[in-house]
Chains A and B, each alone.
Chain A
């Protein structure tokens, strides 16, 4: 998997020759090293941590956050934010649960029991629709992403609660005679011993990586996230890109919702509460910049694994869940701190000029200045 951060590594002064710089390596690969440290520390602290079975269990937990985080990465690369994914996850789960109970069409006097694949497709379409609402609000009506997705977050959560009157669908198994069994496959089946959820995460990550690195859409996304005005003047359909990332994020949330309800064998309207924040944290720990244009799938996956393996490790060694919250928060702050260090370093690397990450924001300040934009560093 090659990506943008590799390209930028080559831009160091020693371009061409692979210089060995320990500090730089630690900084660039910090999520990876953090993950190794977490695994080593918990393996020492608990005899149960370092086992294939435990890793697969933890990985299936990570799958939920990982899938959300991939969608969130696309949005953050565009310079936006999607606070609605947790609610979309919950709403998609509830809708799936509702469909599994059978849809009563009163005017026809029949009860429809859609097969599981239809349920899954409908749930994904719902996620896409929620994303479309976000995207249109943001791209066409210029509502700030934070506010638009915050509003949609409440609406989706409210709809999920309305649909079930706050209750949970506990029977998702379906009946063989109705031909709608198999919902638990997403949560419990294994492919070559790997939980389905993890397989789905891997597939989504691979697709995401190909889209980001090998397609015009990926290039458009990096360009419009890095500098929307320049991208637009270069003929990039910035609005289409912007709407698309929210739709894709919504679909990712719906998929995560299906997997979570399957794992829990129940679909509750409050599922996924605050998961959007975990997804954002994973993306940030993975080295993406909230200002857009920087980040990649590999980092985001590592970020998701850091959070997942850390919190599961704390559970295994019996630390209270309150402490888990504190630790997770500390990791996020540290990650953002290191992001700031990294981008500052990067902007200092070119000898003759500096400050490009911030200069586009300030570019307008002094048009008469012959070297404008370079003062920002």
Chain B
């Protein structure tokens, strides 16, 4: 068992390598000098939590983005990809985590999108159809090439995405979470295809949150944490526990649950809440019930697609509930608008702050005051002095590092932008705050500050519910940890739970 520092030199069998690759977005380092080898004709699996930098690394290796610094070595030669099609021309293709299909086109047209087969007079539809049908046969999927992608279920769409990558005959195939929507049998077929590909000399990079599944197929395991490689090993030398230990690492102290205050009455009561999924046929949140008391901090842990976001958005009024109720201090708020819920003290800090949290065209101050305009309105008009006081107060309390309320929101770092979104909602003096992945994309110092802020407010009686996909964060300020799996609560723990217990309950890893 090796736990290398990740700086070992390129071995002879590496077909594609990243050398000291650094990727920075603004002030945030997504990758901090990574050395990564793709082994020829083998499956190399990259493990890591959300935000560890896996997808960024894959995007660099497939030419989607250019690294800030560092080299890419292909067959022993230094290369730089000008675009993803440049990389594809050199035999590297990638199956992206998010589907990149055009739903309005047929399966055939999607598979050949951007590299259509031509005859002298036009497109060679017959040949395209034939190849598409052959690919579907390889994948043992009964899909007619002329079916529109939007008519397929999600798992089948993922198969089409895989088929598209296979159709290129690439030497190196990167699979970023290829199985997230696949059924067990479909995964089996995919693994058969992968083994077939490797036997023909194709090198595979595999990324999956289903650790056991990945362990079945992989030859090499590489663990990425916070933008650095923490361990590499051959699959035969390792077990699940090794992966988990290296993925999660040592605890950075994100605080501990605030004590010394008694919980109040039940502030938020979620009763039998259901939310239908995108297709309308099933539930992403399935008859879920949860009570949270004033002053209590509850962490909701779960994998991607477990239904955390949908649950929080349904409670906040963003998406409709298909069933059930949400009671705020005993009052049913299920039928109210978002504005009415905010006025009653139920607020949501959304997961994606760029898309849902911030108004980029406005200043820091106006973003902060946006949810509490009534607080500084005098009759019909807004009172500027009162607004300024409110903004200054908010900036101080939430400790936002900014030139002042008049600075544009884009001038702040990710962590400070997140504090603006949280500060905006805290300024409304809520009774219950829901935070969807509040730590996403912010550095560890900002994380600790956000958690400290939340635990301070909880001590003053605020009920806090936050979701996360990082186990370490569960074991920080939360009094109670609720694990969600397939829309249901699969387990509840106190603050003294272990990482292994939590991950096992989420379906991520069953550690024997």
Which one of A8-16, A48-56, A258-266, A275-283 is at the B interface?
A: A8-16
Residues of B that sit less than 8 Å from A by CB:
24-28, 30, 50-51, 53-56, 65, 97-98, 316, 318, 337-339, 342-343, 348, 350-352, 354-363, 366, 370-371, 373-374, 377, 380-382, 403-404, 406-414, 424, 428, 440-442
Given contacts A215-B381, A370-B28, contact A11 B407 (CB under 8 A): yes
- Give every chain A residue within 8 A of B358 (Cβ-Cβ): 227, 230, 360
Give Cα A222–Cα B359 distance, bound, in whole angstroms: 9
- Give every chain A residue within 8 A of B362 (Cβ-Cβ): 4, 222-223, 226, 293
Q: Is the CB of A369 within 8 A of B56?
A: yes
Identity of the chain A residue whose Cβ is nearest the Cβ of B408 in the assembled complex? A11
User: 10 tightest A-B contacts by CB?
Assistant: A371-B25, A356-B410, A350-B411, A293-B361, A373-B354, A226-B361, A363-B355, A235-B339, A226-B359, A363-B354
Give Cα A346–Cα B50 distance, bound, in whole angstroms: 32
Give Cα A371–Cα B412 distance, bound, in whole angstroms: 12
- Give every chain B residue within 8 A of A293 (Cβ-Cβ): 359-362
Q: Is the CB of A236 within 8 A of B370?
A: yes
Identity of the chain A residue whose Cβ is nearest the Cβ of B405 in the assembled complex? A7
Q: Is the CB of A234 within 8 A of B411?
A: no
Give Cα A150–Cα B311 distance, bound, in whole angstroms: 40
Most buried by B among A8, A233, A372: A233
Given contacts A233-B338, A371-B30, contact A359 B370 (CB under 8 A): no
Given contacts A234-B370, A369-B56, contact A354 B440 (CB under 8 A): no
A236 to chain B, nearest CB (A): 7
- A contact residues, total (Cβ < 8 Å): 57
- Give every chain A residue within 8 A of B357 (Cβ-Cβ): 230, 233
Q: Is the CB of B65 within 8 A of A375?
A: yes
Contact of B410 among A230, A236, A350, A368 (CB under 8 A): A350
Does A171 sit within 8 A of B, measured CB to CB? no
Q: Is the CB of B318 within 8 A of A370?
A: no
Q: Is the CB of A225 within 8 A of B361?
A: yes
Contact of A233 among B350, B408, B411 (CB under 8 A): B350
Given contacts A226-B359, A226-B360, A369-B30, contact A359 B50 (CB under 8 A): no
- Give every chain B residue within 8 A of A173 (Cβ-Cβ): none
Q: Is the CB of A214 within 8 A of B382?
A: yes
Does A161 sit within 8 A of B, measured CB to CB? no
A270 to chain B, nearest CB (A): 38
Identity of the chain A residue whose Cβ is nearest the Cβ of B357 in the assembled complex? A230
Contact of A369 among B55, B382, B407 (CB under 8 A): B55
Q: Is the CB of A294 within 8 A of B406?
A: no
- Give every chain B residue within 8 A of A353 (Cβ-Cβ): 25-27, 410-414
Most buried by A among B370, B406, B407: B370
Residues of A that sit less than 8 Å from B by CB:
4, 7-8, 10-11, 15-16, 210, 214-216, 219-220, 222-223, 225-227, 229-237, 289, 292-294, 346-347, 349-357, 359-360, 363-375
Give Cα A93–Cα B372 distance, bound, in whole angstroms: 42
Identity of the chain A residue whose Cβ is nearest the Cβ of B371 in the assembled complex? A234
Q: Is the CB of B343 within 8 A of A235?
A: yes
- Give every chain B residue within 8 A of A232 (Cβ-Cβ): 318, 338
Q: Is the CB of B30 within 8 A of A370?
A: yes
- Give every chain A residue within 8 A of B440 (Cβ-Cβ): 367, 370
B225 to chain A, nearest CB (A): 12
A233 to chain B, nearest CB (A): 6
Give Cα A225–Cα B428 distance, bound, in whole angstroms: 22
Identity of the chain B residue whose Cβ is nearest the Cβ of A218 in the assembled complex? B382
Identity of the chain A residue whose Cβ is nearest the Cβ of B417 in the assembled complex? A353
Give Cα A237–Cα B374 distance, bound, in whole angstroms: 13
Give Cα A133–Cα B441 distance, bound, in whole angstroms: 43
B392 to chain A, nearest CB (A): 15
Q: Is the CB of A360 within 8 A of B354?
A: yes
Q: Is the CB of A11 within 8 A of B361?
A: no
Give Cα A289–Cα B411 distance, bound, in whole angstroms: 20
- Give every chain B residue within 8 A of A16 (Cβ-Cβ): 403
Enumerate 17 A-B pairs (CB-CB under 8 Å) in ascending A order: A11-B407, A219-B366, A233-B350, A235-B339, A236-B370, A349-B408, A352-B27, A353-B411, A353-B413, A356-B409, A359-B354, A360-B354, A363-B352, A369-B56, A370-B30, A371-B25, A371-B414
Q: Is the CB of A219 within 8 A of B406?
A: no
Q: A347-B410, A349-B411, A363-B354 are in contact. List 10 more A-B contacts (CB 8 A).
A: A4-B362, A210-B381, A226-B360, A230-B356, A230-B357, A233-B318, A236-B339, A351-B411, A360-B354, A370-B25
- Give every chain B residue within 8 A of A289 (Cβ-Cβ): 361
